[in-house]
Structure 1
Amino acid sequence: MAEPPARPDPDALLALARQEGRGRLKVFLGAAPGVGKTMEMLAEARRRLAGGTDVVVGIVETHGRAETMAAASGLPALPRARIPYRGQVLEEFDLDAALARRPGILLLDELAHSNAPGSRHPKRWQDVQELRDAGIEVWTTMNVQHLESLSEAVARITGVRVAETVPDRVLAEADAVELIDIPPAELIERMRQGRIYRPDQASRALRGFFREGNLAALREMALRRVADRVDADVTGYMRANAIAGPWPAGDRVMALVGADAAAETVVREARRIADALKAPLVALHVEQPSAAPGSDPGPALRLAERLGAATETVVAADLPAAILREARSRNVTHLVIGRGRPGWWRRMTGRTLSALLLRQATAFTLHLVPDPVAGPPRPPAEERRLAPWAGWAATPALVAAATSIGLAADGVVPEGALGMVYLVPIVAAAVGFGALQGGLAAALSFLAWNYLFLPPRYTLAIAGPQDVVGVVVFALVALLLAGTTGGLGRSVRAAQARLLGLRRLVEFSRRLGAPGDKGDLVQAIAEEASHITGWPACVLLLLPPLPGESTPEPVLRASMPLEAEPDEASMAAARWAAANRRGAGRGTDTLPAAAWQFRPMRTARGLTGLVGLRPPDGAVLEGEADRALDALLDQAAIALERAELMEERARGEARAETEALRAALLTSLGHDLRTPLTSIRGAIATLRTSGAALSEATRADLLATAEEETQRLSRWIANILDIARIENGQIEPRRETVDLAEAVETAAARAARAHGREIVLEPGTRPLAPRLDPALLDQVLANLLDNALKFSAPDGHVGARIGREGTALVIAIEDDGPGIPGEDLHRVFDPFFRATRTDRVAAGSGLGLAICRGLVQAMGGRIAAESPTLPDGRGTRIVLRFPAA
């Protein structure tokens, strides 16, 4: 029967009809104050105003922020209503003026604001409702902590209870919600810069509400609320347009609640799945009029409501169709159902609910929940073994069954042909139980056939030559079948055992190759050894021998079960096995009285460890299990050796890196200390030995050289101390307003005098006055200008400029030197790294740019290197970016 055509959901159409004639509402939602909601609303309003839309500011709360005041300036605004209250006049939004003006878009800041007493409505969101009813489009802002349903959660997280709240339905009825989001670290930096509150308020806020953990939690709330809103929009669109789901835009989980004992288990499992997917949960119960009375689904539905799920009950005769219809209408992606206990007829015909949904719900992920009242699971097929007497008891039963069939066919089938019936129990007994049972079946079948069906009947005598030939042929065929099929059965069982062992070894190899530490590896070896043998198992690794000893000491590292641990007598066998690299303990020729048996794990490099087994009394490991254990030991030894090699490689790389850093440090120390010390020593020696014979100018030059080299040495030691302070986080900038143009001019003049070179300053836009530490900024500029002069030709160009890029203030220092190779560009700010400049390594200690980066980051800025900057592949530009005040 064809399904009826899809029709739009009446509730969705009704919701759209309610929006007709009402003004639109757009909410700019943020996680906390200062994220930029008002700025984004004003920026969008300016764009719409430039496009010809009638945009009017109803009220914007600037809180004294210069940026907000600048953004609001130039936009048409309504005059504020003046309301007298307790001897003072309060300014509020003028609702009547807005209704009379009827702009195309009205901007109303802070939706959760409480109006002054005497206003028409106590809350601003109520003003918005009236404006929308009048057909006016409203844009507004709010923070997520002002939602009424989140006030308690916000109070628990932040310790601050929000007094002004907005009902959740206001946000739910909004036509558009735009999330304004920035990372918590950036928001905290804005607070420290004084861009949100005054300095005294900012310090209190940073110690309370504006802690990074609080902001991260509020940010998650905002993201989740907007995600829920988007999900609701998608679902509403699908319902209104009769679109069959699901759309995989987001996960939604539906629990199918029946009227049985497993219903509550299904609800709990669905809640767990929904939590793991961070998805909403719906609990659905389908009432079938033709179904027999059963248990009450009420407790399970009430449990779903307590767990935060939406519940729904529908009446339908076709259960799978109703489930799929509801799932598609709600854009569900996961269905959770109970396995249940359907009747044998439904299971045989494939009419169970799970089978029907498996065939029909191809667009959904189906989860089957086990029946909580079912008995323990049956053991796997490979673990079930028949008792030895079962084959001997079943063989006569098989022959008796064949005899019953022969008696029923007697008189219809010739007696010679009835012998063929007895070949069936012979083959079955041989394949199922073995050749001996097949031989017994052959003997019993011959006796029964001869006694009951061959003339003369009811005797074991044979009447004629024809019967003799038939009996002989039957006996030979029966014995041949018993032998060959019995052997075939044994071969099949052996092949299955080998295949199972091979499959387990392949899975174990994959597990050994998976990422993980050595502890996970040895635990996996112990678990697999225990699984193969069925005995307790452990893994012992070897410690290096103590001084004066030659035998490694085995130490327990993993066991299965966890409480399995070799005793002291068994550890003696383990030490012998480790020393001789041979098996020892129970079941071996060495120390067989020990309770444990130890087998070595060997590779070409030597012994990697021991696997210990504790067999029961008299138990011996044979056949496929013994071979599987040997294969396990070989694989485990290789895996342990690989893990040890990886550890050695990691240690080697760490040592090499340490050696490289030490060599760089010693080389830098040797060069940068030796050069100035040599100059100082030479000047002092010359003055001491020949001072009287030297002219005044020569003595002055030698003293100047000693003084200059002493200053150079002091600067280098200061660099070492600076980089240590930066690495330890001991830099605390003292912020004050800094004129960037003046700071750059001062540093450039000082560097130009020191090098006897000219530095070109490009005029910048004034005023550029961020809040920085003047001393740290001067040190950064001095280092960068010194580098630019050092690495450019004596007649080369060195320039500096300042400017603005968006909300950032920029200082750029550039030169026309050889530039920085591309492979070194990302490392020039690392300590002790010196870039290769064309055919030589750059001179210096390699600390200057590392110090600059640390100081710039301490002031809240960023630093980057660009090279080349000229068409001929030369030139370097260092760019500093600081947030504007």
Structure 2
Amino acid sequence: MERDDEIRRPDPEDLLAQVKAENRGRLTIFLGAAAGVGKTYAMLETAHERQADGVDVVIGWVETHGRPETEALVRGLSIIPPRELVYRGKVFREMDLDALLQRRPQLALVDELAHTNIPGSRHTRRYQDVEELLAAGINVYTTLNIQHVESLNDIVAQITGIRVQETVPDRLLEEADQIQLIDIPPEELIERLKEGKVYVPPQAERALQKFFRPGNINALRELAMRYTARRVEGQLDHYMRLHGIAGPWPAGERVMACVSPSPFSAQVIRTARRMAAGLKAEWLAVYVETPDRLPADENRRDQLARNLHLAEELGAEVITLTGNDAAEELLAVARRKNVTQIVIGKPLHPRWQELWRGSLVDKIIRGSQGISVHIIPGRTSSREGHRAIGWRYRQRVSSWPYAGVLVAVMLVTVLNKILQPVFDFTNIALLYLLPVLFSASRWGRGPSILASVLGALAFDFFFVPPVLSFTVYNLRYLLSFVIFLVVAVITSTMATRLNIQVENARRRETRTAALYALSRKMAAETDIEGILKTVVKTVAETVDGEAVIFMPDAAGKLEVRATVPSSPEKWLDNNEYAVAGWVFTHEQIAGRGTDTLAGADGLYLPLKADENNLGVLGVKLTHPERHLEPEQRRLLEAFASLAALAILRLQLAAEAQQARYLEASEKLRTALFNSISHELRTPLASITAAVTGLLEGDEVYHPEERQALLQTIKESARRLNRLVGNLLDMARLESGMLQLKLEWCDLEDIIGVALGQLRETLQDRPLEVSISPGLPLVKVDFTLIEQVLVNLLENAVKYSPPGSKIDIAVRREGKELQVAVADRGVGIPESDRERVFGKFYRLQSPRHVSGTGLGLSICKGIIEAHGGKIWVEARSGGGSVFYFSLPLAEQPPGAVPSEGGGGQGDR
């Protein structure tokens, strides 16, 4: 029973996906085998039904092709007028995406999903417009022919002989909420074509001859039905998992596509995608870089990047490896990933190359051991086949390396002639290997092979009898020539291969070093501004251009936070800001070199980390005619990810710091309330009790008792007044609102006023005041320094035994005036001498000591506000000495120094 309950439990991932999908619009695709089956007609009919149910329906774009019955259905529905774009001197009409987003209907009709927009539109393809509508929460009805599905592109080309250029990614159909298959018999479709209901008569005639043949139509119908059937099966499976319905699950198949820099790999990738979809299996695309399969030139690297990008778009897990044997690496990945199906392309190179270098396909078949291997034959045109075979050698040819080879062989020949009297034929032949090695390491395979051929000919012509003739009398020299050529070719090939490996390793090392340097620099930064400056500087140096980072302000509007150079106004116009805003909103790459907003001057990448879009990274190349290489773009994406993570790290650290501040504030508030509640209740209770007794009448208490009650009221009121005063002073210090009223004062006068205020508190204490003679005046706030002395004296009274002596001393120390208040209490441990000046900190005492623990903290704040310092030391013989110093300023004219003296003396 527990197992059955576990099977029936809904899948959390499906539930989460369903919650996320609730915020997006719903997509319905009307899918047909070919044009003319009635997709647009069915879409409009369904839209009228929805409108009758009260749904707000708007036509974003509908192509009627002049069909009266279709135009009749358009009437009665709201239409967003198309926008007009001028391209190459002609005016074209396109769907007005902005107007549709502003209108925000419940349901939008967008015909021809695979359409390519006119340059100047926001997106290159119409399906991208639809994705933006869905992201805005608008439901969309759209139409699509089966030949426009990306993974079926090769199959459609084989069936019809026509390769469709406009395709739609499979993920869009997989994410669609509903697919409605629109189908009619081939005979009816052909009849509609003949009647001119699909195309105009001349175009319809050509279509009937090439595309709309009965066999083609039936094959396309089968494709459409099979695709829709897989979709229905997937929906049923999703429904069962979402609702926890027990049932049979598909087998754990996994498909692997073997990718190479060849253009033919695109067919292999699409085949693997279709196979994985048919098996409802995961699939991966693997490329192995080996010394003999390195993408030596830029064209091969670009083609490899396009192949891997196609696999990524089709939903594959892309893996790139480096190894010596491609077959062994591919089989190792297949076993590690539990692959059951391997898809690999049939090689297009000549048979002799397989005999020379070995067949990758044969090696994989021999080592498959239970894994099914599917070999896909190439069906490229002759031109494509030629390009695939000769792809490795498509490099820019320069005559200088070959001229250099000729000069090097001539120099070696001259050197051999000079050394011929002391050299034999073996040494002379070995010297001719020097131009081969040199040219292979500097210029590549072609010049090195030329060097080997010229070296062999020069050796024969100038040194092998008969000299100055290519005729060879001794046949054993022919074998020497062959061996020399073989050694030279192998040596040049290995040197060239090593050179290519070094170049690729250098490129990888450069990327890795750039990423490492950026991460190390960002780790050293402690603020966001420093990280942003580091990122834009690194990006600008890497791509040889300009870089800028946008981040939202408090109102959510993007603003430039860092840029290199410091004045980006030359290229950051309103259009560029709009592109950056679109990237920030939609969290997608856009701008130059992409399919979205390609007319922008810069390329813009979102700074996204942990589902948070933190900003936008913009890049503009110094030379507008140059484009970013695929490797540079991937490096920029890595930079953007690193920057986003670093920014997020600092933001989280700031939030954690804020949380710590809030926690400390909460503790402070709790301590304040606990302390104040007791300190306020004690004097209030004393006052209440004394006043209550006095109100009972004169006959209840004797005059002495009444006097005692009045004294209690006075002491409690004074204690309450000090408490409130301390709280107000602390609030002023914490808020920074403490304003000093500086005036020239005699410190002896301040001490006298403080002692007068504490006359009753100090009446049973011996007190000695020692003031050095001739002390200068100090410029301080009289009232606040008096408050410091009062708090220090009260603290001495609280923490020293009754009747113990308190000493006050004032003396000059250099450019400061130093005051000391000493007691004979228990003393302060060294570990607590800094903490006693903290808020609400109170020392442990064997007797009860009243107070809130704010007095010394207030003293510290007041003294530091005057530019002085305060500290405590242990007193010889027991007790503590509190010191504070005040800076001395230039004395005012006519100032009279203090006479000093004993002051209070002993009492």
The two structures have a TM-score, normalised by structure 1, of 0.46
Give the TM-score taking structure 2 as reference length.
0.45
**Higher relative contact order, structure no. (Cα contacts within 8 Å, ≥ 6 residues apart):** 2
